[in-house]
Amino acid sequence: MTFGPLHGEAGRVDVAAAAGGYPVVVGSGLLDEIPRVADAVAPGRRLAVISDSTVLPLHGARVAEGLRAAGREVATFDFPAGEASKTRRSWSVLTDRMLEAGFGRDSCVVAVGGGVTTDLAGFVAATFLRGVPVLQVPTSTLAMIDASVGGKTGVDVRAGKNLVGAFHPPAAVVADVQTLETLPRSERAQGLVEAVKHGAILDERHFDTVGARLEAVLAGDAEASADVVLASVRLKAGVVARDEFEGGLRQILNFGHTVGHALEAASAYALGHGSAVAAGMLAESRIGERMGVTAQGTTERLASVLRRVVGDVEPSGTAESARSYLSSDKKARGGQARYVLLERIGKAAGEGGWSHSVPDPLVDDVLASLYFRP
């Protein structure tokens, strides 16, 4: 079901999906419009609002109260904030609590929070009684720009990040940029890295626009944030529409993530996702330059923007520990990691496929440079 313009809506993007498309609505003050959206996409369903322990009192409770005031049956479920909670155990606890509360197939999950909540609550929805709808309400830059769009859900395991999950597109996504005001500047920065990535792989003009509006977004400016989020969502939606299940083109959205996820895992997730992906993008761009795939100077151009977003990234752990996680990356084939490389800013290298094998000595050399700077 569809719904008309929401009060405070700045724009929306319709995302194609095999199970039916869904809208991503971006604007300011949209949390108060959630009951209207829920009535359209989940009529007659019991609503399970899932948030982490930080976001629940900030935004999740407000969403739940608004839904109750509109006459909906609602229960709230929370989990400890942080990447350390994105596990099968947390998934098990949440699903068990929903079952104990009497939720059935007439349920809809309302995921209110950042990227961890988006992935974890989405995975709960994907698997609860073999699948119930999820309404995504992202409250971080990362979740708005990337995690809530595209239908990927999942949890981290010992072998690496996001290795257990499911494709489960949301019924709708409602991104209220006012919620970004409650984030520290450093958290806004973590998500903005994904906007830089979208420009790097898809659209040079977007890359330059993000660089130009960077300070306004980091300062929490609502108009600038809405513009950047909408532009990034449009770019990602175009890729997802062409390759929903990551059989080919969608792999480019993982630029920086092969190395980035390994850096995250090696740090026991002490390193922020955006910082890890920023380092991963620079590493994978450097690999591309040394292989003659990526135009010379691309890495320095990337670095000139990424340093303004997250500064110089200092990975924790060791190069050896990061290296050990590469073979379990989702794009790995035959135990060998594969990497998304750039042709230049605004265009991913696609000749011979969208992910590329790289000689191990080159990977080792580039990884070592991340840990042992002169």
pLDDT at position 168? 97
Query: Percentage of the chain surpassing pLDDT 90?
Result: 90
The model's confidence at residue 340, banded by pLDDT at 50, 70 and 90, is: very high
Helix (H) or strand (E) run with residue 141 in it: helix 141-142
pLDDT at position 333? 65
Q: Looking at residues 262-281, what average pLDDT do you find? A: 94
- Higher-confidence position of 351 and 62: 62
The answer, yes or no, to whether residue 162 has pLDDT greater than 60, is yes
Question: Is residue 160 a contact partner of residue 329, using CB atoms and an 8 Å limit?
Answer: yes
pLDDT at position 19? 86
Same domain, 104 and 253: no
Boundary residue ending a domain (117, 149, 182): 182
Same domain, 143 and 258: no
Domain with 51 in it: 9-182
The answer, yes or no, to whether residue 133 has pLDDT greater than 70, is yes
Closest-CA residue to 108 (of 72, 161, 155): 72
Which tokens sit at 70? Answer: 């509109």
pLDDT mean across residues, the chain: 95
The answer, yes or no, to whether residue 141 has pLDDT greater than 50, is yes
Q: Tell whether the torsion through CA atoms of 178, 52, 121 and 114 is positive or negative.
A: positive
Which tokens sit at 358? Answer: 């790289």
The model carries a pTM of: 0.95
Same domain, 178 and 214: no
Q: Is residue 337 part of a domain?
A: yes
Angle at 270 between CA 48 and CA 315, to 5 degrees: 140
Q: Is residue 155 part of a domain?
A: yes
pLDDT at position 231? 98
DSSP 3-state assignment of 68? helix
Q: Is residue 74 part of a domain?
A: yes
The model's confidence at residue 328, banded by pLDDT at 50, 70 and 90, is: confident
Q: Is residue 78 part of a domain?
A: yes
pLDDT at position 16? 95
pLDDT at position 330? 65
Same domain, 314 and 364: yes
Same domain, 160 and 192: no
Question: Is residue 23 a contact partner of residue 172, using CB atoms and an 8 Å limit?
Answer: yes
Q: Looking at residues 176-186, what average pLDDT do you find? A: 96
pLDDT at position 374? 42
Q: Looking at residues 268-290, what average pLDDT do you find? A: 96
Q: Is residue 251 part of a domain?
A: yes
Question: Is residue 125 a contact partner of residue 131, using CB atoms and an 8 Å limit?
Answer: yes
Q: Looking at residues 288-299, what average pLDDT do you find? A: 98
Domain harbouring 134, CATH code: 3.40.50.1970
Boundary residue ending a domain (182, 209, 228): 182
pLDDT at position 295? 98
Q: Is residue 171 part of a domain?
A: yes
Same domain, 173 and 195: no
The answer, yes or no, to whether residue 76 has pLDDT greater than 90, is yes
Same domain, 161 and 225: no
Same domain, 55 and 178: yes
CA distance 123 to 58: 23
Question: Is residue 258 a contact partner of residue 281, using CB atoms and an 8 Å limit?
Answer: no
Q: What are phi and psi of 343, to 5 degrees?
A: -85, -40
pLDDT at position 372? 65
pLDDT (tens digit, 9 = 90+) per residue, 91-124?
Answer: 999 999 999 999 999 999 999 999 999 999 999 9
Helix (H) or strand (E) run with residue 6 in it: none
Boundary residue ending a domain (161, 182, 203): 182
Q: Is residue 3 part of a domain?
A: no
Same domain, 177 and 198: no
The answer, yes or no, to whether residue 137 has pLDDT greater than 60, is yes
DSSP 3-state assignment of 185? helix
The answer, yes or no, to whether residue 202 has pLDDT greater than 50, is yes
Task: Give strand ranges (E) for the chain.
Answer: 9-15, 22-27, 46-52, 74-79, 107-113, 134-138, 152-157, 160-167, 172-176, 342-344, 347-348
Q: Is residue 70 part of a domain?
A: yes
Same domain, 102 and 210: no
The answer, yes or no, to whether residue 334 has pLDDT greater than 90, is no
pLDDT at position 77? 98
Same domain, 301 and 192: yes
Same domain, 132 and 26: yes
pLDDT at position 371? 85
Q: For the chain, what is the domain count?
A: 2
The answer, yes or no, to whether residue 331 has pLDDT greater than 70, is no
Domain harbouring 364, CATH code: 1.20.1090.10
The burial class, CB within 10 Å (0-12 / 13-18 / 19+), for 215 is exposed
Catalytic residues: 130, 152, 194, 236, 246, 250, 254, 257, 261, 273
Q: Looking at residues 215-226, what average pLDDT do you find? A: 96
**In sequence order, what are the residues at sequence separation of 6 or more whose Cβ sits closer than 8 angstroms to the Cβ of residue 161?**
261, 264, 265
